[in-house]
Chain A
């Protein structure tokens, strides 16, 4: 039997954080691709520490609902789940550990779907249109921004927008400057975040003076999308991530999927 275990951050304060994990799990359950689909969290229950005890399958794929490689995917999740590499044998189970979602090949498609959903029925100004991918970013870990640069590059190849730019909350280029300075009359701002939360609901709209999905400024219109991670298509991406992990199961860390290599060079 095969089980998919989706790991979310979760929150002690805010139910929005775990909600997409539950929703994606429900969608994947409906496909019946896996015998079991189970959710677990760092800050909510079931904890990573105990989730494997609730699984009846013997072949398990753990997919972190995180955008980029970093502290959680590299330290916290393996430690709490008791994993010692891409494949761990324990308690009669084979536990495979997938990489995060943001570097996976289908991610650009989800970003584009999120963009289409936002722009459906909305009137643009005459002139150029820029897509701005917004990441958290941190000077402590280049993978966080690497995912944004990687997806921006992939989307540029489609030539759907006059311009594709990267922006961040906690590192340069800073989002306020990018949104104000990008040379376009229409600016589509898409947060590459896994869930709604403090940043997407409060700090970003406040800092940028956004009034909702559409904000008119003198020289430009800003379209602000929901986070990529809550899009229903993320469920397909999570399932595909698991499928890919089963396929490449026994390879060495970092070689399972060429996209992980790309993000290193992009960052």
Chain B
């Protein structure tokens, strides 16, 4: 049952120090070292005379922010987008604005950060220590089961395209560290944010499944060279644009033509076919 070693506790195995505790201390020291504060994805963290302050990076000079000293309020802050939509991926660049958390100490800061960016502080620390274990796409896919087992058959090209569509900074602020496998680096802009991404996340696996289903349509291309789902996406786009109501699907609604990551994938794979030579 446990053939896949866990990244961090695997590397921390045999050490007496607890990785969560050392990460918390290292992160606080990193923040303490910068008078002007630190930017961590979309959060600005500053040392106060006592304790720490966190706010959205776009709220640096904002007024009338909702202020709290409860670190667990971070869960409520990170739950929904500005428009009230569920946020399944906390590192998506859609953290809502309008709040300030002023917490008592480094421990409370870690609690808040773990709700804003779950497990990010520990991954940040392990990477700096050279101890962050990376799991490639193929290793991750090998342990998938049930409806996700089919991601094992996704082509290398499919992985590259899926990662560009699903993981670049426009849609996820983590810095992608994993590759297709030991020999095949991911062809993408990995980003340069503070939070490392050591392994494909569940959202990516779900998207990879969708892309694998696209790949299976190859044999069904029509005379114009389009697959059934490509035709459907184009028709939906035209209809939505013509109606004047371009309502995008939810972040992880990959079955819907007007999903941002699905459209990003079409930009990579369909647009060049529609405009050859560009």
Residue pairs across A and B with CB atoms within 8 Å: the count is 116
Q: CA of A210 to CA of B250 in the docked complex: distance in angstroms?
A: 28
Contact of B9 among A12, A14, A78, A91 (CB under 8 A): A91
Q: Is B64 an interface residue (CB 8 A)?
A: no
- B145 contacts chain A at the CB level, 8 A cutoff: yes
Q: How far is the CA of A44 from the CA of B4 in the complex (A)?
A: 20
Measured between beta carbons, the chain B residues less than 8 angstroms from A10 are 88
| Interface stretch (choices B116-124, B218-226, B267-275) | B116-124
For A42, A45, A85, the residue with the greatest tally of chain B CB atoms inside 10 Å of its CB is A45
Per-position binary interface string of chain B over residues 244-271, scored 1 when its CB falls under 8 Å from any chain A CB and 0 otherwise? 0000001111000000000000000000
Residues of A within 8 A of B119 (CB): 45-47, 50-51, 53-54
In the complex, the answer to whether A53 meets B8 with C-beta atoms within 8 Å is: yes
Instruction: Say how far A74's CB is from chain B's closest CB, in angstroms.
Output: 9
A51 to B123: give the CA distance in the assembly, Å.
11
The answer to whether A92 and B18 have CB atoms under 8 Å apart is: yes
In the complex, how many angstroms separate the beta carbon of A68 from the nearest chain B beta carbon? 16
* Nearest opposing residue in chain B for A77, CB measure: B1
- How many A residues, CB 8 Å from partner? 38
User: Could you tell me if A93 and B9 are in contact, using CB atoms closer than 8 angstroms?
Assistant: yes
Cβ proximity bits A88-107 to B, threshold 8 Å, 1 near / 0 not:
10111100000000000000
Residues of A within 8 A of B90 (CB): 45
A127 to chain B, nearest CB (A): 43
Min CB gap B2→A, angstroms: 5
Interface pair B122/A54, CB less than 8 Å apart: yes
The reply on B216 being an interface residue by CB < 8 A is no
Tell whether, in the assembled complex, residue B145 and residue A75 are in contact, meaning their CB atoms are under 8 Å apart. yes
In B98-134, which residues have CB < 8 Å from any A CB?
Answer: 114, 118-119, 122-123, 126
Query: Which residues A66-88 have CB closer than 8 A to chain B?
Result: 71, 75-76, 78-79, 81-85, 88
A91 near B12: Cβ-Cβ < 8 Å? yes
| Contact in complex: A42, B202 (CB < 8 Å) | yes
* B7 adjacent to A53 (CB under 8 Å): yes
> Does any Cβ of B come within 8 Å of A11's Cβ?
yes
- Chain B residue with minimal CB distance to A81? B6
Set of chain B residues within 8 Å of A93, measured between Cβ atoms: 9
Q: Give the interface residue-count category, chain B.
A: 35 or more
Which residues from chain A contact B18 at a C-beta distance below 8 Å? 56, 58, 92
Known: A45-B118, A47-B202, A56-B18. A71 touches B146 (CB 8 A): yes
> What B residues does A82 contact at CB under 8 A?
2, 4-6, 9-10
A85 to B2, CA, bound (A): 9
- Cβ 8 A contact of B88, one of A11, A51, A78: A11
On chain A, the residues within 8 Å of B19 by CB distance are 53, 91
- Given the interface pairs A47-B201, A50-B123, A82-B4, the reply to whether A91 lies near B86 with Cβ below 8 Å is no
Interface residues of A in 1-53 (CB under 8 A from B): 10-15, 22, 26, 42-47, 49-53
Please give me the residue from chain A that is nearest to B3 by CB atom. Answer: A79
Contact partners of A50 in chain B: CB under 8 A: 6-8, 118-119, 122-123
* B10: contacting residue among A13, A45, A91, CB under 8 A: A91
B243: Cβ under 8 A from any A Cβ? no
Q: Which chain A residue has the least Cβ–Cβ distance from B15?
A: A92
A95 CB to closest chain B CB, in angstroms?
Answer: 9
Query: How near does chain A come to B237, taking the closest CB pair, in angstroms?
Result: 21
Given A49-B7, A50-B7, A92-B15, 6 extra CB contacts under 8 A: A45-B89, A45-B119, A54-B118, A56-B21, A79-B143, A92-B18
The 4 A-B residue pairs with the shortest CB-CB distance, nearest first, are: A91-B9, A12-B252, A46-B118, A45-B118
Give 24 A-B contacts (CB < 8 Å), ordered by A residue: A12-B88, A12-B203, A12-B251, A13-B86, A14-B86, A43-B88, A44-B88, A44-B202, A45-B119, A49-B6, A49-B7, A50-B7, A53-B122, A53-B123, A54-B119, A54-B122, A58-B18, A79-B2, A79-B143, A88-B2, A90-B13, A91-B10, A92-B15, A92-B18
